[in-house]
Structure 1
């Protein structure tokens, strides 16, 4: 008995050490996309030709059965105005599907975070081909769902445990590694004092000169200059440099508040390698919130703004550190930037 307990303790220690850092990932499996962030929280949803019917799964790491499923009807560019049909007209492979368990239902939404309910539904769906609404043309392809669930099991290291969705085993729930420690990004200890009239006048003059002598393709008449205090000795200077149909690329510098002005180009480098993207972030549609000491970027991959990359960075008194990174790789009209799946979160 003593040897068995010792082996269990050692296994948990090794598992915990192996989960000290979680690599964010976003990957597609046929008609399903999976996103797991640096906390090993994973989310999956159906993609491609769903015509407004979407199922989203979410599962937290560790021993707790922190999981949820929601089924939604509608999309950001074409709201659905039909009556509540989700709880009564769902069909599985063209046969009526009677939902069992505990569900919360509102018009166009079904939701459950009950473990037994979610697990029962997923076990049923893994052997089917599609989930649809009768006569409405909306359908969720289940191609790739099993692989998506297996990927989440592997990412959270549940494979072989009782709580796995696909490859179950005899390992107890407590054997699943917990979430890595949540990184903290603190604001500066002191709020930067506002720029005096003299400081602002000097920085605007210097910024205007730099804006007129920068290698930017944007028409000089469309360029704008933005100045904000960062600390007692530094300010943020931002100019519009290039523009497309719905994105403006900015150039940013951290510059001394007093002459002689010493600028340092601002480069934002991600602490991880995002899917199909460079670690150095292009400063699309950048904005700075002086009250929160936070810089945001938003790269829209098409005008509707249903896909792209959204980030938030906080100035800690020395440099900007990543607070949040969200990415939606599929331009399918489902949601806007405020609800894109996250790959990086902090406290």
Structure 2
């Protein structure tokens, strides 16, 4: 997208150009630094998540409305802007010729859409076909209250309360304010003035170890539970008929996941790293969360992460326990952990409720010596997507 600029007044073209350059330089020097990432915020009916590469995703939905809008954008000059609209298959199909903004017909003849697509997860999706279409759509609707996807009373709708704010924060995170690519405060700066998106950290996983025979795995898991019985690590555990798991980590060590507490749809475990054949030498596995997402991090990172109980539609004041974040903490637990030796990836999934429309997924990659944070996704507010469809806050390659 290109903006032309014209300098008016009595000053000559050269002097005016100099004045403009000085003004832009001063504005740039006074511009506040971009917000720190990872960032997670909520604003009325919208949530915004920006990861460590400054890729941002905003989602708008509410319990009262039947559609979800997702806005995603990469940072830097080549960052693509995309708007998606999801509706349940049971809802009335969107009619792009009859969209209404706050009850008034919305002319979208200049908006191009990709061919109708099905996500395969019980929803139909409308996707803008190009950057310009996404720009035009957002600038038309950003200050509205509700976008109806048809002109009937039963037409699906997207709530827009909070949209303008999250678009402004998205611009700030990607340093677009004052640039022609900004969604809320565009200026004269060209796309070439944008800094490239930060690269995701590169991680290399350890090669797959020799498999742990089933009989050895059962014996090792039982041995660790027996050896650790009464220890601080298992002191508060109350799982009945527990399901413990042992899996090979290296040719000499294994991971043993000891079930500690069981809820209606997920369980928590204490994970030990243990030498094969020496269950009494088991040590609680301690894991670090990605930078900016550690316990006690700034509110932009989600601050107190919470899960809902099984019956609530909203997140309740129950702390999320993913893993201990310091070696001195023996009580940290992980929810529904799994380890894939082929990819050297340890994952934990904490569902906010049984529908899995909110929660946290964290992943670590084993490099042969230690586990490094490799991925993190979270959605604190329930609703607005398929199970596990949570925005990304940390990514690696």
With normalisation by structure 2, the TM-score equals 0.75
Change (3 A) 1:197 1:149: closer
Contact (CA 8 Å) 1:53, 1:140: kept in 2 or not?
yes
Unaligned runs of 5+ in 1: none
Contact (CA 8 Å) 2:359, 2:380: kept in 1 or not?
yes
Contact (CA 8 Å) 2:61, 2:384: kept in 1 or not?
no
Matched, 1:249 2:265: no
Alignment partner, residue 287 of structure 1: 338
- Partner-residue secondary structure (3-state), 1:104: coil
Change (3 A) 1:200 1:244: closer
Alignment partner, residue 103 of structure 1: 113
Unaligned runs of 5+ in 2: 1-13, 118-123, 294-300, 306-320, 324-332
Alignment partner, residue 340 of structure 1: 390
In 2, the alpha carbon distance for the partners of 1:200 and 1:152 equals 48
Matched, 1:122 2:138: yes
Change (3 A) 1:260 1:105: closer
Alignment partner, residue 112 of structure 1: 128
For 1:195, which of 197, 209, 212 is the aligned residue?
212
Matched, 1:24 2:28: no
Matched, 1:53 2:67: yes
- CA-to-aligned-CA distance 1:159-182 (integer Å, 9 cap, x gap): 111111111122221222221121
For 2:97, which of 88, 92, 96 is the aligned residue?
88
In 2, the alpha carbon distance for the partners of 1:343 and 1:122 equals 23
Number of residue equivalences: 329
Shift of 1:102: 1.8
Mean Cα deviation higher: 43-52 or 198-207: 198-207
Matched, 1:240 2:259: yes
Alignment partner, residue 322 of structure 1: 373
Change (3 A) 1:260 1:164: closer
**Aligned CA-pair RMSD:** 2.9
Contact (CA 8 Å) 1:63, 1:178: kept in 2 or not?
yes
Alignment partner, residue 167 of structure 2: 149
Alignment partner, residue 76 of structure 2: 62
Alignment partner, residue 248 of structure 2: 229
